[in-house]
Amino acid sequence: MLTDRVMFDFFKKRLDSHPPDAKTLRVALLRFLKESLQQVEGGEGRHIKGLQLFVACSGIRQHLYEAALYQQEPGRFQAEVQKIADDFALELPTTWVMETTFVDDLPPEALKSPTLDVALFIRTRTASVHTLTKGYIRVLSGEAEQETYTLTASDGPVTIGRERKAQGENGFVRINAIAFPANSPQEGNRYISRQHAHIEWDNGLGRFMLFADEGGVPPRNKVKIKSAGADTSIKLYSTHIGHPLREADQIVLGESAVLEFSYIGKPD
């Protein structure tokens, strides 16, 4: 059996030019997940709600990862992760979920593997106390029906998109709470999807979360967040992983429509 050191060197030096077989790659993936889980909550997994594994590769390497992850057998790879969690007493809750997403670039907020083409996002239900249960949205660029919006913890999902009423591909009509009229002369409105994003309160985290919807993830339009003082923006790749909103975060929808979020008070 290969030692951890040999495995590390093998993947670090030779993954690009000599891809391993699917079984060896699966072992490395499971090791990466095990080590990542052991670092969360001091190795106590009961606070974990879900795992999102991002894979950034193409061609023959993507087919190799698909085989290693049992993409044709839903649930099988998650079962192997569960077995490892049981072996190491990580105590994952019975309701935890796992998803795999193939992307062009690994999300910067996810935990990257030093040897594989993957990154892991772990969503937890860590309890926290937060007294700011209101949020405020100001439209900086683009034209919405209002210039400012007030959000409360009891609102449920606050949907964002083009037009007040938008019919999705499933035939259902969605009512956008923050609506950008399609007939606006503002250029930014053109690149907003009918079902672009939504904001909702997370009681466990004690803050508002921004989620991309079907029209706001690649290869369609975009949802990006630029935080105050940050040099780069964060792009949302999944409809299931939200971004915790912080004071003065700017939310970019499509190409140039921009919203500003605040907890402090209603914008002027």
Question: 146 and 241: one domain?
Answer: yes
Q: In this structure, is residue 180 part of a structural domain?
A: yes
Is 207 found in the same domain as 109? no
Q: Is the pTM of this model over 0.85?
A: no
Q: In terms of domains, do 119 and 143 share one?
A: no
* Residue 179's CATH number: 2.60.200.20
Between 78 and 123, name the one with better pLDDT.
78
Question: pLDDT value at position 128?
Answer: 39
Q: What is the pLDDT of residues 179-228, one digit of tens each?
A: 999 999 998 898 999 999 999 998 777 789 999 998 988 887 789 999 87
Structure tokens at 21: 């077989």
Q: How far apart are CA 29 and CA 116, in angstroms?
A: 8
Residues 171 and 120 placed together within one structural domain of the fold? no
In a domain, 17, yes or no: yes
- Is the pLDDT confidence value at 252 over 80? yes
pLDDT above 90: residue 229: no
Contact 225, 234 (CB under 8 A): yes
Q: Is residue 131 exposed (0-12), middle (13-18) or buried (19+ Cβ within 10 Å)?
A: exposed
112 shares its domain with 143: no
* Residue 131 in this model has a pLDDT that exceeds 60: no
Instruction: Give the count of domains, the chain.
Output: 2
Together in a domain, 114 and 40? yes
Q: Using the Cα atoms of residue 10, residue 16, residue 21 and residue 27 in order, give the sign of their dihedral.
A: positive
Do 140 and 44 fall within a single domain? no
Establish if 267 belongs to a structural domain: no
Do residues 251 and 139 make contact, with C-beta atoms less than 8 angstroms apart? no
Please give the structure tokens belonging to residue 44. 């106590």
Say which residue, 79 or 167, is predicted with more confidence.
Answer: 79
Q: What pLDDT is stored for residue 169 in this prediction? A: 65
Determine what percent of the chain is predicted with pLDDT higher than 70. Answer: 84
pLDDT class for 168, splitting at 50, 70, 90?
Answer: low
Classify residue 187: in a domain, yes or no: yes
Whether the CB-CB separation of 127 and 134 falls below 8 Å is answered with no
pLDDT digits (tens, 9 = 90+) for 101-117: 888 888 777 788 989 99
- Indicate whether 228 belongs to any domain: yes
Question: Sorting pLDDT into bands at 50, 70 and 90, what band is 36?
Answer: confident
**Which one of 124, 142, 173 terminates a domain?**
124
Flag whether 129 is in a domain. no
144 plus 243 within the same structural domain: yes
Which domain covers residue 197, as residue numbers? 134-262
Does the structure show a pLDDT above 80 at 135? yes
142 and 102 part of one domain: no
Give per-residue pLDDT as tens, 47-90: 788 888 989 988 888 999 999 999 999 899 999 999 998 888 88
Is residue 103 within 8 A of residue 55, CB to CB? The reply is: yes
At residue 258, the pLDDT reads 95
- Please tell me the distance from the alpha carbon of residue 218 to that of residue 236, in angstroms, as a whole number: 9
Mean pLDDT of the chain: 83
Q: Report the C-alpha gap between 233 and 187 in whole angstroms.
A: 21
